[in-house]
Amino acid sequence: MKNHQNISISAALTAILLAGNLPGKAQSNPANDPVFQNIDQSVKPGTDFFHYANGKWLKDNPIPPAYSSWGIGNVVTEDIRIRLKKINENAVQARAAKGTSTQKIGDFYYSGMDSLNIDKQGVTAINEPLNKIEQIKDIKGLLDVTAYLSTIGARAFVGTYVGQDDKNSSKMMLQLGQTGLGLPNREYYFKTDARTSKIRTDYAGQYMPKMFKLSGLSDEQAQAAAKSVFAIEKDLADSSRKLEDLRDPYHNYNKMPVSELNKLTPNINWNTYFANAGIAKVDTVIVGQPEFYVAVNKYLKTFTIADWKAYLRWKLLTAYAPFLSKDFDQENFRFTGMVLSGRKVQLPRWKRVLDTENGIMGELLGQLFVKEYFPMKAKLRYTNLVEAIKQSYREHIAQLDWMSPETKQKALYKLNTINAKVGYPDKWKDFSNLNIDRGSYAVNVMHARHWAYLNNINKLGKPVDHTEWNMTPQTYNANYEPSNNEITLPAAQFIIPGIKDEDIDDAVVYGYSAASTIGHEITHGFDDEGRQYDAKGNLKAWWTPSDSVKFTQRAQVLVNQFNSYVVLDSLHVNGKACLGENIADLGGIVLGVDAFKKTAQYKEGKTINGLTPMQRFFLGYAIGWLGQQRDEELAQRILTDVHAPGFLRVNGPFSDVPEFYEAFGVKKGDAMWIDPDKRVKIW
């Protein structure tokens, strides 16, 4: 996954969409040059290329108080939000017929903006699930309510979803994974550094008690509830696998009959649980982390029913706090926004409502959005660029000196069968069963989450829908899905803010789009995890044993390289956890370089604003990671994210690419220099 911090933006700014691999007009005006204008000439390229390429922009664009990070996606987002706001306000005024997309969008936005009604309702907006929690008397009741809460987006200690069977990608299977924590991941419960300890102290000693009091508990009850919940979460964390251990697809694939799962966890009747969760006729499940559920089975009796009721209350409150009255919303932001992420102020309500709407019913919004702003012809541009990268990859595979002919043949077959979803879906999701009105914001969110839940579990036992998108067109991101052997490239991902496509030359396009996005996602099919899936998306050994060993040896050099980077305080990059993304970054760059070498611009060799075509390629790649984060946010990502920080996604892989050294005259002794025999070369 490309992952620009999951920023959602529009696919529709056609004036600033890149031209794919169509020739761009050479831009010689420095003020309108998408790469020259960002350069910080006080930094040497071989010392810190990220800050050389982006430093001027970073100095001129400090992080606004309402944000924990600020970058290229945010700039576009601000413009897009204005456009989305117009669509929503028009929908509010339209008072369209019940059941139409316009009605649902308008009523959702109206309910979210009606702060007087939201404050008046307070916690009563979620009284129905709160009452169900209060009525729990035993373990059976606890499990029944836990199942119900999962259907409205308040997941507790059971993580169910329907997805493709890793070893039989044509089948949709019920799957269970570890879940249930309130802090970002397990490390937050155990790390003893000052930064993490401070977060943990606030979470258990201030945030929890305050939220419980707001929900109606007395001081004494709130303190007791907080103590119970933190104890449960800490035990769940202790039973959870680490971030890097979740990347082994074989280790996290444990298929078993429900009858066997019942024996593994005798305190949980899974047949009853699934029925209460609306999941019928399940005889087999895939359990990602069986030991987690063995531990849950024990904890059901280790902790009292009162403890568990407090825990479920907490899961519900934190799932819906942003949609409740001002006091809930502000305390939730104080911890999640300020303490965890370092934000200074909260976004205005209209932006928060739009972001919520886009997150839970984004494809409904996207249908209206692309109809007004995004032309179909853009799909062809990016489809052509995909083929340029595929051809580069074919040539790289053919020339590998470490891979056997047998594995090469299968790798080429897998590459050729990768399906690229470009721009926006040809078939939209059906939202006809989603009920939205102007009554309650929290209830509307509940309805939308329930719709999404049903949309997922209703796939059980049905053929895989290869037309379905897992992102909206207005999402600033992209991904590779191993079970489908496909890449999804939302049109929004190809935007450079404020620059018309005719003013962007191929060098920048190939760095920003072909290398940073398309090449990156295609390489995911052959990274440490993706390579374990065959051309049909099945978890299956298709490499020769010796080729697997050679790949692992080369990948380990990349792990070691990133392990050596200290990011903040004593926090190092977790080279193993982010190996897949680092392989994809490096692969995307080398594929993009060779694809770009075939273009007329590269062959002509003309400079633009004093920059050679290859220099512009690397600068184009670098603006894909244009951005900066607050320390709090950066620390959180180091512990929870499988992506390295943005500046290392530039400096790290560039240090392994010979063309980078040649383009900028990087010499031994420069900070980014790595001796040739120690550079990583996989693809």
> Tell me: the pLDDT tens digits for 132-166?
999 999 999 999 999 999 999 999 999 999 999 99
- Please tell me the predicted confidence (pLDDT) of residue 32: 85
pLDDT at 488 over 90: yes
- Please tell me the predicted confidence (pLDDT) of residue 667: 97
pLDDT at 474 over 90: no
**What residue ranges of the chain are covered by domains with CATH 1.10.1380.10?**
137-340
pLDDT at 4 over 80: no
Instruction: Give this prediction's pTM.
Output: 0.89
d(CA 315, CA 275): 21
β-pairing, 284-287 vs 168-177, is parallel
- Please tell me the predicted confidence (pLDDT) of residue 24: 47
pLDDT at 551 over 80: yes
Quickly state the pLDDT bin for 3 (edges 50, 70, 90): low
> What is the per-residue pLDDT across 214-253, written as a single tens digit (0 to 9) for each?
999 999 999 999 999 999 999 999 999 999 999 999 999 9
> What is the per-residue pLDDT across 32-57, written as a single tens digit (0 to 9) for each?
899 999 999 999 999 999 999 999 99
Quickly state the pLDDT bin for 11 (edges 50, 70, 90): very low
> What is the per-residue pLDDT across 247-257, written as a single tens digit (0 to 9) for each?
999 999 999 99
- The sign of the torsion formed by the CA atoms of 247, 251, 254, 260 equals negative
- Mean pLDDT computed over 585-598: 98
**What residue ranges of the chain are covered by domains with CATH 3.40.390.10?**
7-72+375-425+469-678
Q: State the fold for domain 137-340.
A: Neutral endopeptidase; domain 2 (1.10.1380)
- Mean pLDDT computed over 457-473: 94
pLDDT at 19 over 50: no
d(CA 11, CA 24): 20
The total of other beta-carbon atoms located within 10 Å of residue 662's CB is 12
Would you say 215 and 125 are in contact if contact means Cβ atoms under 8 Å apart? no
Single-letter amino acid, residue 4: H
Selected residue with higher pLDDT from 493 and 120: 120
**Which of 20-24, 566-570, 653-657 is predicted with the least confidence, judged by mean pLDDT?**
20-24
- Please tell me the predicted confidence (pLDDT) of residue 9: 34
**Which of 493-507, 594-608, 616-630 is predicted with the least confidence, judged by mean pLDDT?**
493-507
β-pairing, 7-8 vs 255-257, is unpaired
Percent of the chain with pLDDT over 70: 95
Is CATH 3.10.580.10 what the domain over 7-72+375-425+469-678 is classified as, yes or no? no
- Please tell me the predicted confidence (pLDDT) of residue 476: 87
